[in-house]
Amino acid sequence: MKSELRFQGVAVSPGIVRGTAYVYRPDEDLPPRTTIRDDQVAGEIARLQEALALTRRQIIELHDRVRESLGANDAEIFEAHLMVVEDGVLIDEVQKTLKRELCNAEHAFHTVAHRYAKSLAALEDPYFRERAADIHDISRRIVRNLLGRTTGGLSELKTPHVVIAHNLTPSDTAQIDRDIVIGFCTEAGGKTSHTAIMARSLNIPAIVGLHELLASVENGADVLVDGYSGVLIVHPSEETLSQYGALQASKAAMEMRLTELRETASTTQDGRHIILSANIEQPEDIEQAQSSGAEGVGLFRTEFLYLGREDLPSEEEQTAAYISVAAAARPHAVIIRTLDLGGDKLHDTLHTETEENPFLGWRAIRVCLERTDIFKTQLRAILRASVHGSIKIMFPMISGMPELRQAKAILEECRGELEREGVPFDREMEIGMMIEIPSAAMIADIFAKEVDFFSLGTNDLVQYTVAADRGNEHIAHLYEPTHPAVLRLIRKTVEAANAAGIWVGVCGEMGGDIVLTPLLVGLGIDELSCGSAVLPRVKRAVRSLDAAACRKLAAEALECADGSEILARCEAVARTHYGDLL
C-alpha cells in the first residue's frame, strides 16, 4: 500500500469524487533543440519528409470529414493548410536551416515557420494575415508529428479520470466530456479563473492552487477530490474513504433538500423577486440549467462554440445551437453574449501573435469590430434564432460609446440583410451590454439611454478596478470583490439603470457566491446569473433573506473603507440566515 498524501488548495467547485488520476501535460510551444552531426542530416531530412506526408494525410482526412458534415465552404481552410505543407520555398528553407545550424528537424521547422508567420502577420493585406494563421496552425501539427505525439487533448480520454494539470485553458476545457472528466486539480488558478468557472458550470468537483502537484502525482494514481474544502488526497487510506463516505452521504442529503426548491420562486421574505438564471457554455448545458430551477439563461458564453477546433463555426451551425437553447428555455429568456475571445480564450485562426498584455489587448468586442465578417455571421445567427424563443443579445467589454454604437450599427446592417432576404427575426429583441470595465461603469448613465439592460461582469470589473490579474496567484489577495471601489461602481451602475428604467443583472462569479448574495440584493440587483451547480444554493439564500435588511447591509458597506470588513459583515448576515449552507 502506498502512503496517503494530502495537498491543500483552493476549493472552486463543490463535490466529492474518487477516481484515477490523468496527469495532463499539453505540448510545449517550443520544441526542444538538439544538435546533430553532419552524418545525421540526411536522417533528419527523411524524418521531416515523413512528418510532412503524415500531416498531408491528416489534413485530407479532416477536409473530407468537415466537407461531409458542414459543407465545402467550411472545408476550405484545410486546402490552405495543404498549401503550407506543399510550400516548396518554406520546406527548402527548413532544410537549409537544418544543414546550416546542425539542429533537429522539429526545431528547424518551428524556427522557420514562426519567422514566416510573423512576417506575414505584419502585412496589411488580409489575405497574407490569414496565411500567417495557417502557417502557425499547421506548424504545430507538423512539429507534433515529428515528435511522435498525438494531439494530446482531453477529448482523447475514453474512461473516467480526475485530470491533474498545471493549468487548463478554455480550449482544453472546451473538449471535456463531463462523464469522462470527473474532477479537476490544477497547480495554477484562482476562484475566478476560467478553469474554476468551467468546473462550476459543468458541476465537476475542482481544486486549484495546488503547488508542486505534478511532481508528486503519477498517472493512474488513486485520488480523492474534496471540492468543498480544497483537499486532494492521493492514495486515500481505508479510514479516509470511510470518513468521506459519511461526509458524502450528509452532503447528498443537503443537495436533496435544495433540489426540492426547484419549482419555488426566488423571492425574499418581504416579497422582492430576484430573477435567478444560469450561465452556460454549450447548448447541452441548458438541461442542467433547467434541472437546477433556473429562470432561463443569463449568460450564454458563445466563445466556447469556437474553442477546441481548427475552423470557425458557420452561420447555420450557430443558428442551430441558439435555436436549441432558446426553444428549451421557453418561456424564459436566453441572453446571448457575443463572441468574447482573447485574454486566455484564444483561437488559432484569430490569435496568431503573442500580446504583452492579452487581458488589456485584442479581445471581445475589439476582435468583433475588426473582424466584422466573423461578427456578422454570429449576429445573423442570433437574429435568425430569435423567432424561436425569447432571446436577448449583449455586447462584452464595451469601454466607450463609439464601440457600442458601432456594434449596434453592424447589428442593424444584419437586420437589413435578413429583411431583404425575407428571413424572419424578432424586431423587438432586447439589446444589452456588459459593465466590466470601470470606464463603462463611470458613464453608465450615458450608456443607459442606448441599451435595454446592463449585466455586470464582476470577474473583469474587479480585476480591472484593482489592477490585479485574477489568474495570478501571487497577487490573489488583491483580487477583492468587496473592495469599496467595486461596490461604488456597482451602485453607480444600478442607479443609472434605475434612472433610465432599465434592469441590471450580475453574470460574474459574485452572482453565485452566497456570502455576497445579501450585499447584491441590498445594492438593488434585479437578476443573478450563475453556474447551474450553485444556483439552488443561491435560491435558498435569496428565499431566506429580507430585502430591507439587505439594503441596510449595503448602506453600511458603502461607508466602510476596508474590503475585509465588508466581507465580514456579509458573512455575518449569511450565517444568520443560512449558516447550514456555509
- Give the CATH architecture of domain 5-23+156-244: 3-Layer(bba) Sandwich (3.50)
Residue 352 is predicted with a pLDDT of 47
Q: How far is CA 250 from the centre of its chain?
A: 31
Strands 161-165 and 16-24: parallel
Lowest mean pLDDT across 271-275, 342-346, 506-510, 562-566: 342-346
Residue 342 is predicted with a pLDDT of 77
Residue 172 is predicted with a pLDDT of 72
Residue 302's pLDDT band (cuts 50, 70, 90): very high
Lowest mean pLDDT across 138-152, 210-224, 239-253, 295-309: 138-152
Contact 440, 157 (CB under 8 A): no
Q: Please say if 507 is a catalytic residue.
A: yes
Of residues 136 and 40, more confidence is placed in 40
> What CA–CA distance (Å, rounded) separates 410 from 376?
7
Of residues 471 and 337, more confidence is placed in 337
Of residues 363 and 296, more confidence is placed in 296
pLDDT tens digits for 151-163? 556 777 888 999 9
- Confidence (pTM): 0.71
Q: Regarding the domain delimited by 38-147, which CATH topology (the fold level of the hierarchy) does it fall under?
A: Enzyme I; Chain A, domain 2 (1.10.274)
Percentage, residues of the chain above pLDDT 70: 91
Residue 206's pLDDT band (cuts 50, 70, 90): very high
Options 414, 507, 550, 570, the catalytic residue:
507
Residue 247 is predicted with a pLDDT of 87
Q: Angle CA(528)–CA(530)–CA(532) in degrees, nearest 5?
A: 130
Mean pLDDT, rounded, for 417-437: 97
> What CA–CA distance (Å, rounded) separates 450 from 431?
9
Grid cell 502585412 is found at 123
Residue 233 is predicted with a pLDDT of 96
> Does 282 score more than 70 pLDDT?
yes
Mean pLDDT, rounded, for 202-229: 90
Mean pLDDT, rounded, for 127-140: 72
- Assigned CATH class of 259-272+469-582: alpha beta
Domain ranges of the chain: 5-23+156-244, 38-147, 259-272+469-582
CA atoms within 13 A on the CB side of 573: 29
> What CA–CA distance (Å, rounded) separates 454 from 108?
51
Q: What is the DSSP letter of 531?
A: -
**For residue 397, how many other CB atoms are within 10 A of its CB?**
25
Q: How far is CA 235 from the centre of its chain?
A: 31
> Does 568 score more than 70 pLDDT?
yes
Q: How far is CA 277 from the centre of its chain?
A: 18
Contact 466, 489 (CB under 8 A): no
Of residues 545 and 123, more confidence is placed in 545
> Does 254 score more than 90 pLDDT?
no
Residue 80 is predicted with a pLDDT of 73
Residue 320, all three cell numbers: 442551430
Mean pLDDT, rounded, for 375-398: 97
Options 110, 194, 332, 347, the catalytic residue:
194
Cβ-based neighbours of 323, under 8 Å, separated by 6 or more:
384, 385, 388, 389
Residue 344 is predicted with a pLDDT of 58
pLDDT tens digits for 394-412? 999 999 999 999 999 999 9
Residue 108's pLDDT band (cuts 50, 70, 90): very high
Residue 152 is predicted with a pLDDT of 54
> What CA–CA distance (Å, rounded) separates 444 from 454?
9
Residue 154 is predicted with a pLDDT of 75
Q: Please say if 194 is a catalytic residue.
A: yes
> Does 562 score more than 90 pLDDT?
yes
Residue 77 is predicted with a pLDDT of 63
Handedness of CA 49, 55, 59, 62 (dihedral sign): positive
Output 414-421 pairs: Cβ under 8 A, ≥24 positions apart.
Answer: 414/376, 414/379, 414/380, 414/383, 415/383, 417/380, 418/380, 418/383, 418/384
> Does 64 score more than 80 pLDDT?
no
Residue 549's pLDDT band (cuts 50, 70, 90): very high
Residue 439 is predicted with a pLDDT of 98
Contact 450, 408 (CB under 8 A): yes
pLDDT tens digits for 76-89? 667 777 888 888 88
Handedness of CA 566, 571, 572, 577 (dihedral sign): positive
> What CA–CA distance (Å, rounded) separates 432 from 501?
13
pLDDT tens digits for 432-483? 999 999 999 999 999 999 999 999 999 999 999 999 887 676 787 899 999 9
CA atoms within 13 A on the CB side of 248: 15
Residue 14, all three cell numbers: 463543490
Residue 86, all three cell numbers: 506543399
Of residues 251 and 241, more confidence is placed in 241
Indicate the average pLDDT of the chain: 89
Lowest mean pLDDT across 10-19, 168-177, 238-247, 275-284: 168-177
Annotate 168-226 with three-state secondary structure: CCHHHHCCCCCCCEEEEEECCCCCCCHHHHHHHHHCCCEEECCCCCCCCCCCCCEEEEE
> Does 133 score more than 90 pLDDT?
no
Mean pLDDT, rounded, for 107-129: 80
The highest-confidence range among 70-74, 216-220, 324-328, 472-476, by mean pLDDT, is 324-328
Of residues 366 and 129, more confidence is placed in 366
Tell me if the bond preceding 331 is cis, omega within 30° of 0.
Answer: yes
pLDDT tens digits for 15-59? 899 999 998 877 545 677 888 999 999 999 999 999 999 888 888
Q: What is the DSSP letter of 490?
A: H
> What CA–CA distance (Å, rounded) separates 343 from 321?
24
Q: Angle CA(429)–CA(431)–CA(436) in degrees, nearest 5?
A: 155
Start-end of H helices in 122-185: 126-147, 170-173
> What CA–CA distance (Å, rounded) separates 75 from 138?
15
> Does 150 score more than 80 pLDDT?
no
For 190-215, b/e burial (b = at least 16 CB within 10 A) is bbbbbbbbbbbbbbbbbbbbbeebee
Residue 129 is predicted with a pLDDT of 63
